[in-house]
């Protein structure tokens, strides 16, 4: 059997004060997963634990994202998280703080013939 892409969800999250890339990434992932219900997985009699969940989060400083913390926020599946360059930083006028904007793409794959 081969892994087949079944779901693509997109989300956006931010940390308005403090510049926390992990917080923004987690919020982007939560935004994405709250846009859908995986009814087809249950309809196909696929165990939730058998889903392969691939998460890509985009922020200005990917090395500042705790990918393990992001993965812990997902309820089930075999989860992989990677952080890549993207998103946006919006500095304050005084330059002493910034808002961090992250985007997330979540792909769910399952084994099908």
Write down the domain spans for the chain: 2-112
Domain 2-112 has CATH 3.40.50.2300: no
pLDDT value for 43: 86
Query: 3-state DSSP call for residue 60?
Result: coil
Beta bridge partners of residue 82, listed in sequence order: 56
Long-range pairs, 34-37, Cβ under 8 A, ≥24: 35/9, 35/10, 35/11, 36/7, 36/9
According to DSSP, residue 76 is labeled: S
pTM, 2 dp: 0.93
The pLDDT value recorded for residue 100 is: 97
Residue 40's pLDDT is 83
Mean pLDDT by 10 residues, the chain (113 residues): 91 96 98 87 88 97 98 95 97 91 96 82
- Report how far apart, in Å, the C-alpha atoms of 110 and of each of 6, 34, 40, 42, 45 are: 7, 20, 11, 12, 11
Output the pLDDT for position 45.
Answer: 87
What's the pLDDT score for residue 31? Answer: 97
């Amino acid at each position: 059997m081969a892994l087949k892409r079944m779901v693509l969800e997109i989300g956006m999250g931010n940390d308005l004060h403090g510049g926390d890339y992990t917080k923004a990434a987690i919020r982007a992932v939560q935004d994405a997963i709250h846009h859908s219900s995986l009814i087809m997985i249950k309809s196909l009699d696929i165990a939730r634990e058998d889903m392969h969940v691939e998460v890509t989060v985009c922020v200005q400083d990917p090395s500042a994202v705790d990918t393990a913390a992001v993965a812990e926020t997902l309820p089930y599946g075999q989860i992989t998280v990677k952080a890549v360059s993207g998103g946006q930083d919006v500095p304050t006028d005084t330059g002493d703080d910034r808002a961090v904007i992250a985007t997330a793409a979540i792909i769910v794959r399952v084994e099908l013939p």
